[in-house]
């Protein structure tokens, strides 16, 4: 069995060989418009059995010719700097070296609740915005005292997380705590939270 760029291939016999050949298709440009509209240009692009993924978001209907592929993402893509992934029956279509990547920003609209948080933790926060990743492996939420918010669930536009206990030796109920959200190495720290002036039980 061999694996090339995450795609597995199985040899039907016990004694097999292989050689590398130039890919017949190549992506030479990629663009994202209106947050969901993808346009891909290239040479000898596949026209049937095509699927497109960007930032862990997948396209619905795909329109493809040998020089251009267009589609609309079903959900907003995750924040990050991405190459499109174009799959066809023979595998993954390569992106030409040096092709400009697609940059997706991370926006945070609101954090609820953002005031009177329990010093001992336990509050469940709802964070609304754009650029979140349903695959949370590369997502972190941290407050300015290094306290973390443990992620319970995530979609492209909403994260729910549970606050851990704030650092007892640096509690400051009079100053907002900056909230840093990081998704695929893209960070946003535009929103703050405030702690309750008195302690509550856990």
pLDDT at 200 (0 to 100) = 67
The encoded tokens of residue 41 equal: 């240009």
Task: Provide, rounded to the nearest whole percent, the portion of the chain with pLDDT above 70.
Answer: 98
| pLDDT over 90 at 14, yes or no | no
What is the total residue count of the chain? Answer: 202
DSSP string, 91-107: EEEPBPTTPPPEEE--E
**Structure confidence at residue 34 as a pLDDT band (50, 70, 90):** very high
Strands 2-4 and 51-54: unpaired
pLDDT at 15: 74
pLDDT for the residue numbered 20: 78
Assigned token pair, 178: 């900056």
The average confidence (pLDDT) of the chain is 92
What structural domains and CATH numbers belong to the chain?
24-104 (2.60.40.10), 107-193 (2.60.40.10)
pLDDT for 108-166, tens place per residue? 999 999 999 999 999 999 999 999 999 999 999 999 999 999 999 999 999 999 999 99
Cα 119 versus chain centre, distance: 31
CA–chain centroid gap for 104, Å, is 9
Q: Token digits for 174?
A: 């009079």
CB of 159 within 8 A of CB of 138?
no
Average pLDDT in the 14-33 region?
85
pLDDT at 23: 79
Q: 172-190, pLDDT tens digit by residue?
A: 899 999 999 999 999 999 9
Instruction: Give me the pLDDT at residue 120, please.
Output: 93
Given a cut of 80, is residue 21 above it in pLDDT? no
55 — pLDDT class (breaks 50, 70, 90)? very high
Cα–Cα distance, 128 to 188 (Å, whole number): 12
Confidence of residue 50 (pLDDT cuts 50, 70, 90): very high
pLDDT at residue number 24: 85
User: Whole-model pTM?
Assistant: 0.83
């Amino acid at each position: 069995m061999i694996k090339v760029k995450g795609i597995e291939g199985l040899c039907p016999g016990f004694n097999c060989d292989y050689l590398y050949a130039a890919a017949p298709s190549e992506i030479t440009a990629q663009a994202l418009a209106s947050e969901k509209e993808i346009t891909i240009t290239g040479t000898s692009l596949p026209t049937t059995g095509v699927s497109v993924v960007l930032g862990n978001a997948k396209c619905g209907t795909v329109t493809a010719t040998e020089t251009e592929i267009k589609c609309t993402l079903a959900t907003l893509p995750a924040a990050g700097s991405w190459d499109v992934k174009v799959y066809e029956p023979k595998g993954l279509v390569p992106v030409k070296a040096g092709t400009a990547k697609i940059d997706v920003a991370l926006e945070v609209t609101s954090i609820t609740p953002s005031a009177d948080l329990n010093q001992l933790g336990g509050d469940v926060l709802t964070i609304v915005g754009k650029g979140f990743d349903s695959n949370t492996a590369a997502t972190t939420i941290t407050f300015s005292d290094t306290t973390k918010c443990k992620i319970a669930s995530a979609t492209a536009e909403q994260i729910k997380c549970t606050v851990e206990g704030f650092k007892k030796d640096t509690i400051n109920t009079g100053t907002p705590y900056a909230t840093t959200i990081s998704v695929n190495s893209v960070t946003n720290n535009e929103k703050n939270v405030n702690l309750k002036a008195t302690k509550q039980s856990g």
